[in-house]
């Protein structure tokens, strides 16, 4: 691959991915680069994507964002968890929080002790031993500098892009509004030389970041990276989305994911409104039926009308091709359950920063980037498939097919390991920790037959006391926190 020094950077697209990439590059490599971002007001952004994952706080630290300012600017709220409703069985509810379950020892994790207690006929729900989960349930939250609480945010995606844009422009990023009409490649190497606007203007660059969303104008339409289709596992291919008034006095610090007959519905509470949408598979229902399900399950009056989105779950076979990296929907889409897209954007941007091709796009660097990206996407994919596979629902063809599907070997091995031994060992590239795997497996009623024998060393009496103390301490700490609404009003309400 040709060594070409990257100095002039062109970001195609100004959604969450485009502005996240611009913000990080400008802040950390700004003096070394000339950064231009192109976006089209006519095309706009996908406009959804409002629930996040705790790693966003690290990314914001990298950008040097002030939390209060960011929450005010995006009318954001706190996310401690996701409440899954009707997933394992109709009428079931479990919470997957960002917290740690109980207290582990060096020899074995807490859940083995919990499994031992359950086998002996005592102990409460796994979630009773997790601080974040109990705080979410009680709708309570507080934070301070270096808070040990693991949390993320809900925010208005359009306001988020606007907020980042203001910062980027102040840091010297040039924004060009207009439509990219054509991509000009070098006739021999195939490297991208310039983006030619419909107006005829030519935007030249050394390195290009494709943030054009599902279109993938550079990475796919031009460089033909190829797409790995995951729809045999992740069947949803459509979503209808809208915004409603804020229905409740009390704002829950979690996303709701409510399973319906052929998909599921998200409910994301912000300070001033709720975002909601129904994600479904057109192999099992129609757009009209799905729209009706959404309209029948609203909490407040509609503020912004329906929007229909179509997608194919999977990932770009190579996120980096020649002198172009795809970030965001241009690089792949797993599906919105567990809100990992913005995490994958920010992780992709951070990886790019660490591997920035100042001295050219050499093969080994590109290979390394692509391999890390592949592993990251596959780990997230497996965790999302778990929610569908580990269902006991058999009331509709959609759920029966999910329950009966073959899953990737990597996931099948994890399920077998937990079922046989109670062990969960996430890989190094896994963004979901043991606690997440457990909360979801247990919540989905996927059972372990056994547990680590070390848990038998504690007498029943000591084990009982340990669990009671843990649960009591968590309950006391949670009761001392303000409600989430009180917190937002004091911390970041817009005057």
Strand, helix or coil for residue 383: helix
Q: Is there binding between residue 215 and ligand FAD (CB under 6 A)?
A: yes
Among 309, 355, 417, 493, binds ligand FAD (CB under 6 A): 309
Q: Is there binding between residue 76 and ligand FAD (CB under 6 A)?
A: no
Tokens of 391: 């269902």
CA distance 147 to 166: 28
Least separation in angstroms between CB 463 and ligand FAD: 39
What Cα–Cα distance (Å) separates residue 31 from each residue in 110, 114, 171, 208, 210?
48, 53, 10, 18, 22
Q: Is there binding between residue 329 and ligand FAD (CB under 6 A)?
A: yes
Stretch of 12-20, 142-150, 282-290, 358-366 lying at the interface with ligand FAD (CB under 6 A) = 12-20
Q: Is there binding between residue 341 and ligand FAD (CB under 6 A)?
A: yes
Q: Is there binding between residue 50 and ligand FAD (CB under 6 A)?
A: yes
What Cα–Cα distance (Å) separates residue 57 from each residue in 66, 255, 375, 450?
10, 17, 22, 37
CA distance 361 to 425: 35
Q: Output the 3-class SS for 237-276.
A: CEEEEEEEECCCCCCCCEEEEEEECCEEEEEEECCCEEEE
Active site residue 103: no
Among 35, 48, 294, 448, binds ligand FAD (CB under 6 A): 48
Q: Is there binding between residue 24 and ligand FAD (CB under 6 A)?
A: no
Q: Which position among 5, 8, 79, 389 bears the catalytic label?
A: 79
What Cα–Cα distance (Å) separates residue 228 from each residue in 202, 316, 343?
32, 6, 20
Tokens of 163: 């907020």
Between 126 and 180, name the residue whose CB sits nearer to ligand FAD: 180
Stretch of 49-57, 114-122, 295-303, 347-355 lying at the interface with ligand FAD (CB under 6 A) = 49-57
Q: Is there binding between residue 336 and ligand FAD (CB under 6 A)?
A: yes
Tokens of 280: 């479904």
Strands (E), 261-322: 263-269, 273-280, 302-310, 314-316, 320-321
Q: What backbone phi and psi angles, to 5 degrees, belong to 102? A: 55, -150
Distance from the Cα of residue 334 to its chain's centroid: 9
Between 124 and 193, name the residue whose CB sits nearer to ligand FAD: 193
In the stretch 114-153, what mask flags binding to ligand FAD with x, by CB under 6 A? Answer: ----------------------------------------
CA distance 431 to 261: 29
Among 342, 390, 411, 442, binds ligand FAD (CB under 6 A): 342
Between 105 and 199, name the residue whose CB sits nearer to ligand FAD: 199
Q: Is there binding between residue 212 and ligand FAD (CB under 6 A)?
A: yes
Q: Is there binding between residue 216 and ligand FAD (CB under 6 A)?
A: no
CA distance 441 to 142: 28
List interacting residues with ligand FAD (CB under 6 A). 13-18, 38-40, 43-46, 48-52, 157, 179-180, 211-213, 215, 217, 239, 241, 277, 279, 309, 311, 328-330, 336, 339, 341-342, 345
Residues with a catalytic annotation lie at 79
């Amino acid at each position: 691959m040709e060594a070409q020094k990257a100095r002039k950077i062109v970001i195609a697209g100004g959604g969450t991915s485009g502005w996240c990439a611009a913000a990080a590059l400008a802040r950390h490599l700004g003096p070394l680069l000339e950064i231009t971002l192109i976006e089209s007001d006519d095309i706009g952004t996908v406009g959804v994507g409002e629930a996040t994952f705790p790693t966003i706080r690290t990314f914001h630290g990298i950008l040097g964002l002030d939390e209060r300012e960011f929450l005010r600017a995006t009318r954001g709220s706190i996310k401690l968890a996701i409440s899954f409703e009707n997933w394992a069985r109709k009428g079931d509810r479990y919470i997957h929080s960002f917290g740690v379950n109980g207290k582990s020892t060096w020899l074995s994790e807490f859940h083995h002790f919990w499994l031992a207690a359950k086998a002996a006929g005592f102990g409460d729900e796994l979630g009773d031993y997790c601080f974040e989960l109990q705080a979410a349930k009680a709708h309570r939250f507080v934070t301070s500098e270096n808070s040990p609480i693991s949390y993320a945010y809900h925010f208005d995606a359009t306001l988020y892009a606007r907020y980042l844009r203001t910062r980027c422009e102040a840091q010297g990023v040039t924004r060009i509004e207009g439509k990219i009409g054509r991509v000009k490649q070098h006739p021999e190497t195939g490297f991208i030389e310039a983006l030619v606007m419909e107006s005829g203007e030519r935007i030249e660059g050394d390195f290009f970041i494709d943030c054009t969303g599902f279109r993938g104008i550079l990475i796919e339409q031009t460089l033909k990276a190829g797409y790995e289709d995951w729809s045999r596992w992740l069947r949803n291919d459509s979503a209808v989305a809208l915004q409603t008034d804020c229905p409740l006095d009390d704002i829950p610090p979690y996303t709701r994911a409510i399973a319906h007959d052929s998909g599921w519905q998200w409910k994301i509470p912000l300070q001033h409104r709720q975002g909601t949408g129904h994600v479904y598979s057109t192999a099992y229902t129609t757009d009209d039926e799905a729209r009706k399900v959404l309209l029948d399950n609203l909490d407040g009056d509609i503020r912004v009308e329906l929007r229909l989105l179509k997608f194919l779950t999977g990932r770009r076979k190579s996120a980096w091709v020649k002198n172009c990296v795809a970030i965001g929907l241009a690089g792949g889409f797993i599906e919105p359950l567990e809100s990992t897209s913005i995490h994958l954007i920010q992780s992709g941007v951070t990886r790019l920063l660490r591997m920035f091709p100042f001295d050219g796009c050499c093969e080994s660097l590109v290979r390394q980037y692509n391999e890390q990206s592949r592993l990251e996407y596959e780990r997230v994919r497996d965790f999302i498939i778990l929610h569908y596979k580990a269902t006991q629902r058999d009331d509709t063809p959609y759920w029966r097919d999910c329950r009966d599907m073959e899953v990737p070997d990597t996931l099948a091995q994890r399920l077998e390991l937990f079922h046989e031994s109670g062990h969960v060992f996430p890989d190094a590239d896994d963004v979901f920790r043991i606690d997440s795997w457990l909360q979801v497996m247990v919540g989905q009623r996927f059972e372990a037959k056994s547990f680590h024998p070390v848990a038998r060393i504690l007498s029943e009496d000591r084990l009982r006391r340990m669990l009671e103390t843990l649960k009591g301490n968590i309950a006391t700490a949670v009761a001392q926190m303000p409600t989430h609404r009180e917190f937002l009003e004091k911390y970041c309400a817009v005057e």
